[in-house]
Amino acid sequence: MAKETTTYSISELAQEFGVTTRTIRHYEDMQLLLPERQGQKRIYSAADRIKLKLIVRGKRIGLSLQESGELLHMYEPGRNNVDQLERMLEYIGASRQKLSQQLRDISTMLDELDKAEAGCKAELKSLRKVADPK
């Protein structure tokens, strides 16, 4: 008995993962996804679906497409994939560092905005008193 293989169209995957078909084609151009072709029609396998899921998840945690691609290419079914997991941890650490710095920068900017706002309000109050000295 032949095993039935689940396949997906580009529009099905785009809808499922909330990306555009153009985005998926871009991932193909970068060799991150390699669907089969039937003429102009793309046929995506369950493995392609998993790769797309990992790419989308990688983007959410701050990985570049190049980094996601490197991790995908490091995967070897049936192996322990220690190197892949260690690289993933490196990328997670770098992303965490970058986000922490961005949080510090945002906090500094918010403090500066608070100071500027307080200064503007004080100056405005002072100017209104001079204009209307009741």
Phi, psi torsion values for 59, nearest 5 degrees: -65, -40
Neighbours of 26 (CB within 10 A): 14
Neighbours of 8 (CB within 10 A): 19
User: Is the pTM of the predicted complex or chain greater than 0.75?
Assistant: no
Burial 74-83 (b: 16+ CB within 10 A, else e): eeeeeeeeee
What are 84's two structure tokens?
Answer: 């892949």
Q: Provide the residue-wise pLDDT of the chain in tens; the chain has 134 residues.
A: 445 579 999 999 999 999 999 999 999 999 999 999 999 899 999 999 999 999 999 999 999 999 999 999 998 877 888 999 999 999 999 999 999 999 999 999 999 999 999 999 999 999 998 877 66
